[in-house]
Amino acid sequence: MKNTQKRKYQAAVIIAFVLLVVGSLSGITTADRTPSTKFSITTTPTPFSPLNRGEEEIKYYNPDSLSNVIGVEDIEPPFKWQSAIRLTQNELAAYDGWTLTKVNAGYSADNGQLECDATIIIYGKGNDTHPGAVIQNDTTYHFTASGVTTIPLLTPLTLDGIEELWISVEWVQTEVNAFLALMDEGPAVDGKGDWGFDGAWSELQIYGLDYNWAIGAIVEGEGNAVLTIGTIQGPIGIESEVINSGQVPAKTIDWTIHVTGGIFKKVDKTASGSITELAVDASETINLGMFFGLGKIQITITAVAENAEEVTVTKTATILGPIIIGIK
Protein backbone atom coordinates (compact mmCIF):
# COMPACT_ATOMS: atom_id res chain seq x y z
CA MET A 1 0.00 0.00 0.00
CA LYS A 2 1.40 3.44 -0.93
CA ASN A 3 1.96 5.97 1.82
CA THR A 4 -0.69 8.35 0.46
CA GLN A 5 -3.25 5.56 0.44
CA LYS A 6 -2.33 4.49 3.94
CA ARG A 7 -2.73 8.03 5.31
CA LYS A 8 -6.10 8.38 3.60
CA TYR A 9 -7.31 5.08 5.06
CA GLN A 10 -6.16 5.93 8.56
CA ALA A 11 -7.89 9.29 8.46
CA ALA A 12 -11.04 7.72 7.04
CA VAL A 13 -11.17 5.07 9.73
CA ILE A 14 -10.80 7.60 12.53
CA ILE A 15 -13.84 9.53 11.34
CA ALA A 16 -15.73 6.55 9.94
CA PHE A 17 -16.31 4.34 12.95
CA VAL A 18 -18.18 6.46 15.47
CA LEU A 19 -19.24 5.44 18.93
CA LEU A 20 -22.57 6.44 20.39
CA VAL A 21 -23.11 5.66 24.07
CA VAL A 22 -26.80 5.13 24.64
CA GLY A 23 -26.80 3.78 28.19
CA SER A 24 -28.98 0.77 28.86
CA LEU A 25 -30.87 -0.30 25.72
CA SER A 26 -34.45 -1.43 26.16
CA GLY A 27 -35.70 -4.62 24.56
CA ILE A 28 -32.36 -6.42 24.51
CA THR A 29 -32.89 -10.16 24.81
CA THR A 30 -30.27 -12.87 24.73
CA ALA A 31 -30.04 -16.61 25.30
CA ASP A 32 -28.33 -16.07 28.64
CA ARG A 33 -28.26 -13.19 31.12
CA THR A 34 -25.40 -14.54 33.24
CA PRO A 35 -22.58 -12.01 33.69
CA SER A 36 -19.42 -13.01 31.99
CA THR A 37 -16.03 -11.58 31.18
CA LYS A 38 -14.43 -11.70 27.75
CA PHE A 39 -14.95 -15.24 26.18
CA SER A 40 -17.89 -17.30 27.55
CA ILE A 41 -20.16 -20.52 26.58
CA THR A 42 -23.76 -20.73 27.31
CA THR A 43 -25.75 -23.79 27.02
CA THR A 44 -29.46 -23.64 26.16
CA PRO A 45 -32.20 -26.18 25.48
CA THR A 46 -32.97 -26.96 21.83
CA PRO A 47 -36.63 -27.94 21.46
CA PHE A 48 -36.44 -27.72 17.66
CA SER A 49 -33.62 -30.26 17.44
CA PRO A 50 -33.65 -34.06 17.70
CA LEU A 51 -33.50 -35.60 21.15
CA ASN A 52 -30.13 -35.72 22.88
CA ARG A 53 -28.83 -32.68 21.06
CA GLY A 54 -27.96 -29.26 22.39
CA GLU A 55 -26.65 -25.91 21.28
CA GLU A 56 -24.08 -23.48 22.61
CA GLU A 57 -23.23 -19.91 21.73
CA ILE A 58 -19.58 -19.02 21.20
CA LYS A 59 -19.21 -15.32 21.90
CA TYR A 60 -16.96 -12.64 23.34
CA TYR A 61 -19.56 -10.02 24.30
CA ASN A 62 -21.19 -9.53 27.68
CA PRO A 63 -24.98 -9.69 27.09
CA ASP A 64 -25.62 -7.56 30.18
CA SER A 65 -23.60 -4.54 29.09
CA LEU A 66 -24.68 -3.73 25.53
CA SER A 67 -24.63 0.05 25.91
CA ASN A 68 -22.56 1.09 22.88
CA VAL A 69 -23.70 1.44 19.28
CA ILE A 70 -21.51 1.89 16.22
CA GLY A 71 -22.26 3.56 12.91
CA VAL A 72 -20.36 5.04 9.98
CA GLU A 73 -20.48 8.76 9.26
CA ASP A 74 -19.55 10.92 6.25
CA ILE A 75 -20.85 8.35 3.80
CA GLU A 76 -23.15 8.45 0.81
CA PRO A 77 -25.96 5.98 1.59
CA PRO A 78 -26.61 3.22 1.06
CA PHE A 79 -23.25 2.15 2.43
CA LYS A 80 -22.18 -1.39 3.38
CA TRP A 81 -19.78 -2.09 6.23
CA GLN A 82 -19.05 -5.11 8.40
CA SER A 83 -18.65 -5.99 12.05
CA ALA A 84 -16.98 -9.33 12.75
CA ILE A 85 -15.52 -11.68 15.35
CA ARG A 86 -12.70 -14.14 14.81
CA LEU A 87 -12.97 -17.68 16.22
CA THR A 88 -9.73 -19.65 16.44
CA GLN A 89 -8.84 -23.18 17.56
CA ASN A 90 -9.03 -22.01 21.17
CA GLU A 91 -12.77 -21.60 20.69
CA LEU A 92 -13.54 -24.16 17.97
CA ALA A 93 -11.57 -27.23 19.09
CA ALA A 94 -14.25 -28.38 21.52
CA TYR A 95 -16.88 -28.36 18.76
CA ASP A 96 -15.22 -30.45 16.08
CA GLY A 97 -18.00 -32.37 14.32
CA TRP A 98 -20.69 -29.97 15.54
CA THR A 99 -22.66 -27.70 13.17
CA LEU A 100 -22.84 -23.91 13.02
CA THR A 101 -26.59 -23.35 12.62
CA LYS A 102 -27.34 -19.77 13.67
CA VAL A 103 -25.73 -16.41 14.34
CA ASN A 104 -26.67 -13.93 17.06
CA ALA A 105 -26.37 -10.28 16.02
CA GLY A 106 -27.09 -7.12 18.00
CA TYR A 107 -28.86 -4.16 16.33
CA SER A 108 -30.16 -0.79 17.52
CA ALA A 109 -33.27 0.60 15.84
CA ASP A 110 -33.30 3.65 18.11
CA ASN A 111 -30.40 5.67 16.78
CA GLY A 112 -31.06 7.06 13.35
CA GLN A 113 -32.21 4.04 11.31
CA LEU A 114 -35.46 2.28 12.16
CA GLU A 115 -34.85 -0.74 9.91
CA CYS A 116 -31.78 -2.39 8.47
CA ASP A 117 -30.91 -5.16 6.05
CA ALA A 118 -27.87 -7.26 6.91
CA THR A 119 -26.08 -10.28 5.50
CA ILE A 120 -24.28 -12.93 7.53
CA ILE A 121 -20.90 -13.60 5.95
CA ILE A 122 -18.70 -16.47 7.14
CA TYR A 123 -15.03 -16.40 6.22
CA GLY A 124 -12.41 -19.13 6.49
CA LYS A 125 -8.96 -19.01 8.02
CA GLY A 126 -7.04 -15.81 7.42
CA ASN A 127 -4.29 -14.25 9.48
CA ASP A 128 -3.82 -11.65 12.20
CA THR A 129 -4.98 -8.80 9.96
CA HIS A 130 -7.84 -10.11 7.82
CA PRO A 131 -10.05 -13.17 7.19
CA GLY A 132 -9.64 -15.76 4.48
CA ALA A 133 -12.00 -16.59 1.64
CA VAL A 134 -15.78 -16.36 1.97
CA ILE A 135 -17.34 -19.70 2.92
CA GLN A 136 -20.98 -18.59 3.06
CA ASN A 137 -22.99 -15.43 2.44
CA ASP A 138 -26.47 -16.70 1.58
CA THR A 139 -28.29 -15.56 4.75
CA THR A 140 -29.87 -12.10 4.98
CA TYR A 141 -32.06 -10.60 7.68
CA HIS A 142 -34.24 -7.50 7.99
CA PHE A 143 -33.86 -5.90 11.43
CA THR A 144 -36.81 -3.89 12.74
CA ALA A 145 -36.24 -3.84 16.51
CA SER A 146 -33.41 -3.30 18.97
CA GLY A 147 -31.81 -6.31 20.61
CA VAL A 148 -29.78 -9.41 19.98
CA THR A 149 -31.54 -11.46 17.31
CA THR A 150 -30.94 -15.13 16.53
CA ILE A 151 -30.63 -15.61 12.76
CA PRO A 152 -30.84 -19.18 11.37
CA LEU A 153 -28.35 -19.87 8.59
CA LEU A 154 -29.82 -20.98 5.29
CA THR A 155 -26.87 -23.33 4.90
CA PRO A 156 -25.58 -24.74 8.23
CA LEU A 157 -21.83 -25.28 8.35
CA THR A 158 -20.32 -28.51 9.68
CA LEU A 159 -17.24 -27.81 11.80
CA ASP A 160 -15.26 -30.90 10.87
CA GLY A 161 -11.58 -29.98 10.95
CA ILE A 162 -12.19 -26.23 10.71
CA GLU A 163 -9.31 -24.30 12.27
CA GLU A 164 -10.67 -20.76 12.14
CA LEU A 165 -13.84 -18.83 11.28
CA TRP A 166 -14.66 -15.16 10.98
CA ILE A 167 -18.36 -14.45 11.64
CA SER A 168 -19.35 -11.15 10.06
CA VAL A 169 -22.50 -9.05 9.80
CA GLU A 170 -22.59 -6.81 6.74
CA TRP A 171 -24.82 -3.84 7.51
CA VAL A 172 -26.60 -1.73 4.89
CA GLN A 173 -26.57 1.78 6.35
CA THR A 174 -29.21 3.91 4.61
CA GLU A 175 -28.96 7.02 6.77
CA VAL A 176 -25.99 9.37 7.08
CA ASN A 177 -26.14 9.79 10.85
CA ALA A 178 -27.14 6.31 11.97
CA PHE A 179 -25.72 4.00 14.60
CA LEU A 180 -26.58 0.35 14.01
CA ALA A 181 -24.43 -2.33 15.62
CA LEU A 182 -24.37 -3.12 19.33
CA MET A 183 -21.16 -3.52 21.33
CA ASP A 184 -20.61 -4.26 25.00
CA GLU A 185 -18.56 -2.22 27.47
CA GLY A 186 -15.36 -4.17 26.78
CA PRO A 187 -12.50 -4.52 27.01
CA ALA A 188 -12.20 -6.03 23.54
CA VAL A 189 -10.77 -9.52 23.23
CA ASP A 190 -7.54 -8.85 21.33
CA GLY A 191 -7.57 -10.06 17.76
CA LYS A 192 -11.04 -11.55 18.10
CA GLY A 193 -13.91 -9.43 19.37
CA ASP A 194 -13.92 -6.11 17.53
CA TRP A 195 -13.07 -6.40 13.82
CA GLY A 196 -14.50 -3.80 11.45
CA PHE A 197 -14.46 -3.44 7.67
CA ASP A 198 -15.22 -0.23 5.75
CA GLY A 199 -12.96 -1.00 2.81
CA ALA A 200 -10.11 -2.47 4.87
CA TRP A 201 -10.03 -4.63 8.01
CA SER A 202 -9.01 -3.20 11.38
CA GLU A 203 -9.65 -3.72 15.09
CA LEU A 204 -11.74 -0.89 16.46
CA GLN A 205 -9.83 -0.89 19.77
CA ILE A 206 -6.85 0.75 18.08
CA TYR A 207 -9.08 3.78 17.53
CA GLY A 208 -10.22 3.91 21.14
CA LEU A 209 -13.33 1.75 20.73
CA ASP A 210 -12.28 -0.98 23.13
CA TYR A 211 -15.43 -3.13 23.01
CA ASN A 212 -16.78 -6.42 21.65
CA TRP A 213 -19.44 -6.78 18.97
CA ALA A 214 -22.71 -8.40 19.99
CA ILE A 215 -22.10 -11.30 17.63
CA GLY A 216 -22.26 -14.96 18.60
CA ALA A 217 -21.88 -18.24 16.72
CA ILE A 218 -24.51 -20.79 17.75
CA VAL A 219 -23.30 -24.34 17.27
CA GLU A 220 -25.38 -27.48 17.58
CA GLY A 221 -24.22 -30.99 18.28
CA GLU A 222 -24.54 -33.98 20.49
CA GLY A 223 -24.42 -32.87 24.10
CA ASN A 224 -22.28 -34.41 26.80
CA ALA A 225 -23.03 -36.87 29.54
CA VAL A 226 -22.69 -35.59 33.12
CA LEU A 227 -21.75 -38.06 35.85
CA THR A 228 -22.60 -37.66 39.52
CA ILE A 229 -21.96 -39.86 42.53
CA GLY A 230 -24.98 -40.83 44.62
CA THR A 231 -25.21 -41.22 48.39
CA ILE A 232 -22.28 -43.12 49.89
CA GLN A 233 -23.33 -45.61 52.55
CA GLY A 234 -22.29 -48.65 54.67
CA PRO A 235 -22.41 -50.25 57.10
CA ILE A 236 -20.78 -53.37 55.64
CA GLY A 237 -18.48 -52.33 52.87
CA ILE A 238 -19.09 -49.21 50.77
CA GLU A 239 -21.98 -48.77 48.34
CA SER A 240 -22.96 -45.88 46.07
CA GLU A 241 -24.32 -45.12 42.59
CA VAL A 242 -22.97 -43.59 39.42
CA ILE A 243 -25.69 -41.40 37.90
CA ASN A 244 -25.87 -39.87 34.41
CA SER A 245 -27.60 -36.49 34.66
CA GLY A 246 -26.47 -35.31 31.22
CA GLN A 247 -28.14 -34.94 27.84
CA VAL A 248 -26.92 -38.15 26.20
CA PRO A 249 -26.06 -41.69 27.31
CA ALA A 250 -22.69 -41.98 29.03
CA LYS A 251 -20.31 -44.34 27.28
CA THR A 252 -17.58 -46.55 28.75
CA ILE A 253 -17.68 -45.42 32.37
CA ASP A 254 -14.77 -46.37 34.60
CA TRP A 255 -15.28 -46.09 38.35
CA THR A 256 -13.09 -46.58 41.43
CA ILE A 257 -13.77 -46.75 45.18
CA HIS A 258 -10.66 -46.25 47.28
CA VAL A 259 -10.60 -46.38 51.10
CA THR A 260 -7.54 -45.46 53.17
CA GLY A 261 -6.70 -44.66 56.78
CA GLY A 262 -7.39 -46.42 60.08
CA ILE A 263 -4.97 -46.87 62.96
CA PHE A 264 -1.39 -47.07 61.67
CA LYS A 265 -2.76 -46.53 58.12
CA LYS A 266 -3.59 -50.22 57.88
CA VAL A 267 -6.69 -49.69 55.74
CA ASP A 268 -5.99 -49.50 52.01
CA LYS A 269 -8.75 -51.05 49.93
CA THR A 270 -9.79 -50.48 46.31
CA ALA A 271 -12.57 -51.67 44.04
CA SER A 272 -12.98 -50.67 40.42
CA GLY A 273 -15.14 -51.54 37.46
CA SER A 274 -16.55 -50.45 34.14
CA ILE A 275 -20.03 -49.73 32.83
CA THR A 276 -20.53 -50.05 29.10
CA GLU A 277 -23.30 -47.46 28.83
CA LEU A 278 -25.52 -45.50 31.16
CA ALA A 279 -28.75 -43.97 29.83
CA VAL A 280 -29.85 -40.42 30.58
CA ASP A 281 -31.11 -40.18 34.20
CA ALA A 282 -30.11 -43.81 34.81
CA SER A 283 -27.90 -45.05 37.64
CA GLU A 284 -25.69 -48.04 38.33
CA THR A 285 -24.82 -49.38 41.78
CA ILE A 286 -21.12 -49.72 42.60
CA ASN A 287 -19.60 -51.19 45.73
CA LEU A 288 -16.53 -52.23 47.66
CA GLY A 289 -17.11 -55.42 49.66
CA MET A 290 -16.57 -56.02 53.35
CA PHE A 291 -13.18 -55.18 54.84
CA PHE A 292 -11.83 -54.72 58.37
CA GLY A 293 -10.14 -51.91 60.21
CA LEU A 294 -10.24 -49.53 63.15
CA GLY A 295 -10.30 -45.78 63.29
CA LYS A 296 -10.82 -42.87 60.93
CA ILE A 297 -10.96 -43.61 57.19
CA GLN A 298 -11.25 -41.63 53.97
CA ILE A 299 -13.50 -42.79 51.13
CA THR A 300 -12.83 -41.52 47.59
CA ILE A 301 -15.09 -42.42 44.68
CA THR A 302 -14.17 -41.44 41.13
CA ALA A 303 -16.03 -41.95 37.86
CA VAL A 304 -15.20 -40.89 34.31
CA ALA A 305 -16.74 -41.67 30.92
CA GLU A 306 -15.66 -41.44 27.32
CA ASN A 307 -18.01 -38.50 26.87
CA ALA A 308 -18.10 -37.06 30.39
CA GLU A 309 -15.64 -35.29 32.63
CA GLU A 310 -14.25 -37.03 35.68
CA VAL A 311 -16.17 -36.61 38.92
CA THR A 312 -14.68 -37.30 42.37
CA VAL A 313 -16.38 -37.37 45.77
CA THR A 314 -14.47 -37.72 49.05
CA LYS A 315 -16.02 -38.56 52.43
CA THR A 316 -14.71 -39.46 55.88
CA ALA A 317 -16.05 -42.16 58.21
CA THR A 318 -15.12 -44.41 61.13
CA ILE A 319 -14.57 -48.15 60.84
CA LEU A 320 -15.01 -50.50 63.80
CA GLY A 321 -14.00 -53.96 62.65
CA PRO A 322 -16.25 -54.58 59.61
CA ILE A 323 -18.75 -51.82 60.53
CA ILE A 324 -18.54 -48.40 58.90
CA ILE A 325 -20.33 -45.53 60.62
CA GLY A 326 -20.49 -41.73 60.52
CA ILE A 327 -20.02 -41.21 56.80
CA LYS A 328 -19.85 -37.47 56.14
* DSSP assignment string, 71-86: EE-S--SSEEEEEEEE
pLDDT for residue 55 is more than 60: yes
Alpha carbons 221 and 215: distance in angstroms, whole number = 20
Mean pLDDT of the chain: 84
Cis status, amide bond into 235, omega within 30 of 0? yes
Of 49-53, 117-121, 211-215, 303-307, give the lowest mean pLDDT range.
49-53
How sure is the predictor about 88, in pLDDT bands with cuts at 50, 70 and 90? very high
pLDDT at site 303? 96
DSSP, collapsed to helix, strand or coil, labels residue 162 as: coil
Whole-model pTM? 0.59
84 vs 31, which has greater pLDDT? 84
pLDDT for residue 171 is more than 50: yes
Of 15-24, 41-50, 190-199, give the lowest mean pLDDT range.
41-50
225 vs 278, which has greater pLDDT? 278
SS3 content of the chain, % helix, strand, coil (to 5): 10, 50, 40
CA 129 to chain centre: 24
Q: Which residues contact 128 (CB under 8 A, 6 or more apart)?
A: 191
130 vs 208, which has greater pLDDT? 130
Give the architecture (CATH level 2) of 227-325: Sandwich (2.60)
pLDDT for residue 207 is more than 90: no
Alpha carbons 227 and 156: distance in angstroms, whole number = 31
pLDDT digits (tens, 9 = 90+) for 32-52: 323 222 222 222 222 223 323
How sure is the predictor about 54, in pLDDT bands with cuts at 50, 70 and 90? low
**Annotated domain spans of the chain:** 3-222, 227-325
Sheet with 134-143, strands from edge to edge, namely 134-143, 116-123, 165-173, 79-87, 195-197, 201-203
pLDDT for residue 227 is more than 50: yes
**Mean per-residue pLDDT for 237-242?**
97
Identity of residue 288: L
**Mean per-residue pLDDT for 91-110?**
90
pLDDT for residue 31 is more than 80: no
How sure is the predictor about 56, in pLDDT bands with cuts at 50, 70 and 90? confident
pLDDT at site 296? 97
pLDDT digits (tens, 9 = 90+) for 133-159: 999 999 999 999 999 999 999 999 999
